[in-house]
Chains A and B, each alone.
Chain A
Amino acid sequence: MTIAVEQLDVGLRRRTALGWLVTPAVLVAVLVALWLIVAGRQLDSIEERRVNLAFIGVAAMEHLTLTAVSTLLVLVIAIPLGVLLTRPSARRITGPALAVFNVGQAIPSIGLLVILAIVWDVGFWPAVVALVAYSALPVLRNTMVGIQQVDESVVESGRGMGLSRLQVLTRIELPLAVPVILTGLRTALVINVGTATIAALVNAGGFGGIIITGLVQNRQLVTLVGSVLTAVLALAIDYLGRVAEEVLRPRGL
């Protein structure tokens, strides 16, 4: 998945305070509805093993951990790499590097996960590698774009004042690039939540596991619960990401 879409200026207004409350309200309502559906049904043994708070709690933790670790690693790897690729010395490799990453984006996530599972092992860490590989490009691209779109004249005045290249980078370019980078990070987060779901297929746990059990054992309720929980989790994380973007945006931008 690419982030080209996120950067487009679709001409949306900033949300009002009320607007920010809509999403959590809706998500909570959905969870409540789900609860009501489940509570009203008599669960058989298979369903019960999955659709109980303890199990769900564990699955949630697995899913979140996988997502968080991968996103953190992407942050640590892709942002510095992105910065490096914008430096004049890297100009020659930028083109080919991006081309390689773009091709990499074409690799289906499920394929990468299974390959790693076979070649390395099933479980947590191979899944992390796959998630990082898969969500690195948006962050990389956004970091590069974010830095490159900083107004030339601002950079020039910085150099003119006597700031070194590094100082210009840390004090001017990076802060001004923060909003775009944050958007990239949020995109990576959402991608990771999604890929982590599939990672359940290679024993990485998470909500995906619930869905799979439901499919495999042909229990529609379990599938439903797993799907709804996954969707709510993804939307919740996206929402929190947007809040963070808004809060962390430097004043004056």
Chain B
Amino acid sequence: MNFFRYLSSRWDDLLELGLAHVGITVLAVLIATVLGVGLGMLVYRNPRARQFVIGTTSVFLTIPSLALFGLFISWMGVGTTPVVVALVMYSLLPIVANTIVGLRQVDPAIVESAQGMGLTRVQRLWRIELPLAWPVVLTGMRVATLITLGIAAIGAYISGPGLGNEIFAGLSRISSPNALNQVLGGTLGVVVLAILFDMFYVLLKRLTTSRGIR
């Protein structure tokens, strides 16, 4: 069957899968952002702590996704949970690393003047350092999202949600005439999502970055 005819017949299924894919991606990146930015804020001033956190999160990113899934399955079963946990672990490094870099890049004179004015530690972090580091943190989130989109597709193998299911469906019926269409549908769906997320991040950056530092 022609690919485009295939698309028009199955677009509602693909949409549903796409939404599920978006859902799990957003969930994972959000959790990773909360955890990662928090971690970054805790350790960015301490060299040893930084080393430990960066080292640990890079180990996560180095372990191939299938292996991580395999390790989690005995513990959490198959389905969404192990996939989300793995996705969060993968997203941590870009976000933590970027948070640390972003915070360290803030001009020390600005922090000193804020301290001299009587802003407490928390006020300084929240009102001054974090907003100034935000563009860099956003970039980290963008990288994390891209990684997550790709690995979420693999997660379908262990019954995770999303477009990966189309790809694996095509793989399992590899000799059938529609196999390629299915795989293409799933694959291109992920690419489209990646482009959409990217545009979203560009917009988000514009909206949330103060005009003073653009």
Contacts and interface: CB of A to CB of B under 8 A. Distances in A.
Interface of A: 1-2, 4-5, 8-13, 103, 105-112, 114-115, 117-119, 122, 190, 193-195, 197-198, 200-202, 207-208, 211-212, 214-215, 220, 223-224, 226-228, 230-231, 234-235, 238
Nearest to A226: B70
8 contacts: A1-B150, A8-B97, A11-B47, A118-B170, A207-B67, A212-B66, A227-B70, A238-B62
A10 B95 CA distance: 12
Interface residues of B, number: 52
Interface string B46-59: 01001100100001
Contacts of A238: 62
Contacts of A194: 64-65
Given A108-B164, A110-B153, A118 B143 contact: no
B88 interface: no
B161 interface: no
Interface of B: 47, 50-51, 54, 59, 61-71, 73-74, 93-94, 97-98, 100-101, 104, 139-140, 143, 146-147, 149-150, 153-154, 157-158, 164, 167-168, 170-171, 174, 179-180, 183-184, 186-187, 190-191, 194-195
Main secondary structure of the interface of B (DSSP, over half): helix
A117 B182 CA distance: 13
A5 B191 contact: no
A230 B191 contact: no
Contact of B190 (A1, A106, A190, A200): A106
B66 A197 contact: yes
Contacts of A111: 153, 167, 183, 186-187, 190
Given A13-B51, A103-B195, A201-B171, A215 B180 contact: no
Nearest to B51: A12
A8 B174 contact: no
Given A110-B164, A118-B183, A193-B64, A1 B147 contact: yes
Given A108-B149, A202-B171, A215 B93 contact: no
